[in-house]
């Protein structure tokens, strides 16, 4: 059987299980479910300086949050927001992750690896 991508029900549990916050999946994942190379590419494919994506404290796009701060937001279970352009890139990169999984041996998190997520995108 394949190991799960499950990281518990809290940020503390995820950390205790050795999971990391993945910016592409927008979730806590164990290492065997993170395509580090693809996530690194995603993190550098935004419209900002050095390819950063814009993240915000508020739904209306105010209160900028740096990419380096996202893990802290995740650990504190604090919501953050981004742009429609980010969402489109998330969809494209998630499809790439699905394709690459055949060659990388990385597992795709089930909640993003289904037709419902594709229709949502």
SS (H, E, C) the chain: CCCCCCCCCCHHHHHHCCCEEECCCCEEECHHHCCHHHHHHHHCCCCCHHHCCCEECCCCCCCEECHHHHHHHHHCCCCCECCHHHHHHHHHHHHHHHHHHHHHCCCCCCCCCCHHHHHHC
Q: What's the mean per-residue pLDDT of the chain?
A: 93
Q: For residues 109-118, give the mean pLDDT.
A: 91
Q: Is the pTM of the predicted complex or chain greater than 0.75? A: yes
């Amino acid at each position: 059987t394949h190991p799960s991508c499950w990281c518990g029900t809290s940020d503390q549990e995820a950390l205790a299980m050795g999971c990391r916050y993945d910016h592409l999946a927008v979730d806590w994942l164990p290492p065997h479910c993170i395509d580090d190379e693809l996530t690194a590419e995603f993190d550098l494919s935004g419209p900002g300086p050095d390819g950063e994506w814009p993240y915000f404290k508020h739904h209306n796009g105010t209160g900028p949050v740096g990419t380096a701060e996202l893990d802290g937001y995740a650990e504190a279970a604090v919501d953050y927001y981004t742009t429609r352009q980010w969402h489109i890139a998330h969809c494209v990169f998630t499809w790439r992750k699905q394709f690459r999984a055949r060659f990388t041996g990385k597992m795709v998190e089930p909640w993003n690896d289904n037709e419902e997520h594709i229709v949502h995108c």
